[in-house]
Chain A
Amino acid sequence: QLHLQESGPGLVKPPETLSLICSVSGGSISSSSYFWGWIRQPPGKGLEWIASVYYSGKTYHSPSLNSRVTTSLDTSKNQFSLKLSSVTAADTAVYYCGRGLESGRTGKWFDVWGQGTLVTVSS
């Protein structure tokens, strides 16, 4: 059974860079059948998509975060990562990683999610 686990600092100072890793077990990230994504949820608020990354190297980022986001896959470690630069208090959230599936031209969804990790941005 596929399992995703987020890891990284729980506290980041502004305006440093937030760095998270999603470790994948029970399956390989080196598959063209899936994509891998990051989603966050500020306390008491809704879900916000951050980025998606494909084994092919293709990446997509939220337009509102695009200039601050870097994502990558590390197939040797079966994990993928997120870096969010110049963080502010508004970036405080639970960060989730997920496995994505797609169908046709517009069908994309996340079928497996990590447990999430709370990242607080504060000096």
Chain B
Amino acid sequence: SYELTQPPSVSVSPGQTTSITCSGDKLGDKYACWYQQKPGQSPVLVIYEDRRRPSGIPERFSGSNSGNTATLTISGTQAMDEADYYCQAWDSSTVVFGGGTKLTVL
């Protein structure tokens, strides 16, 4: 079965740029998307089709996908961005989620 691998945790200082990676076999040949989930809340879509932002998502969120890695980049990270982030793709008729990355804004 297809797997997506994310680092368990990432730390960043306020105002800095941070990236969260998601690795999978030939992931660049598929579309990837990203969700943000804050404690006690439902996931929120922040990136779809590799790099598109839904309405209402700040411009500081951006995405890319090439080779075996999709990347979520947050520019000028704010304290409110502290959350769990999950990548997701579709393979062989199944929706696959990465294991999630806890972003800490120190």
Contacts and interface: CB of A to CB of B under 8 A. Distances in A.
Nearest to B55: A111
Given A49-B97, A60-B93, A104-B31, A114 B86 contact: no
B99 interface: yes
Interface string A42-86: 000011110010000000101100000000000000000000000
A89 B54 CA distance: 36
A34 interface: no
Contact of B33 (A60, A109, A114): A109
Nearest to A97: B42
Contacts of A116: 42
Interface residues of B, number: 27
A interface residue count range (under 10 / 10 to 19 / 20 to 34 / 35 or more) = 20 to 34
B48 A109 contact: yes
Contacts of A104: 31
A77 B76 CA distance: 45
Interface of A: 37, 39, 46-49, 52, 60, 62-63, 96, 101, 103-104, 106-111, 113-116
